Amino acid sequence: MVVTIPNELNQRLIKICKDGFPYEVCGYLLGEVDRAADGLITTYSITEIFPVKNINEVNPKRMFNINPLDFVKAEEAAKKKSISLLGVYHSHPDEDSYASSTDNAYCQIDMCALIYSIKQNKFNEVKAFMPKIDKNNKDSLFFEETKFKIL
């Protein structure tokens, strides 16, 4: 499974994440889904982003929350353009790009994650993650790193 993004869009996301530093920024990823004959997802092609506000008030440098109304708005935006809601991006200020325990707790089926690591206000790295079912606890999902291609 591979997640792709045009270079221009990736650069825009890096700028948004740097502008938001030292706070976590977040938003939705929209685009096209490709599936194999057996129905399994092969590619998520990100074509649009939908930035939203991080409404976390406890520790917005380390956590993010999204207003559920923004989720509805992002879904409507995708529907209007006949594309799909593919996932969520967020930044990790002064942290590497990895799925934290909080990230895993909010993991939703088929929703990918792009995590932008910004260190000292400079772009460090970005990785893509897809939800996977936990073998030991079938009710829970966790993020596993997946292939990520900048076009």
Give the length of the chain: 151
* Four-residue CA torsion sign, 52, 29, 81, 47: positive
Distance between start and end Cα atoms, the chain: 16
| Window contacting Zn ion (CB under 5 A); options: 51-59, 65-73, 92-100, 134-142 | 92-100
Q: H-type helices in 21-150, by residue range?
A: 68-80, 101-105
What is the signed CA dihedral for 132, 65, 26, 20, rounded to 10 degrees? Answer: -140
Q: Of the two residues 32 and 70, which places its CB atom closer to Zn ion in the complex?
A: 70
Nearest to 30 by CA among 11, 60, 6: 6
Total residues contacting Zn ion by CB under 5 A comes to 2
| Window contacting Zn ion (CB under 5 A); options: 9-17, 51-59, 94-102, 138-146 | 94-102
Query: In the bound complex, what is the minimum distance in angstroms from residue 102's beta carbon to Zn ion?
Result: 6
Q: Of the two residues 74 and 103, which places its CB atom closer to Zn ion in the complex?
A: 103
Q: Of the two residues 32 and 98, which places its CB atom closer to Zn ion in the complex?
A: 98
Residues 95-124 that bind Zn ion (CB under 5 A): 100, 103
Query: In the bound complex, what is the minimum distance in angstroms from residue 15's beta carbon to Zn ion?
Result: 19
- Cα separation, 125 vs 110, in Å, equals 23
Q: Of the two residues 100 and 124, which places its CB atom closer to Zn ion in the complex?
A: 100
Q: Which residues bind Zn ion (CB under 5 A)?
A: 100, 103
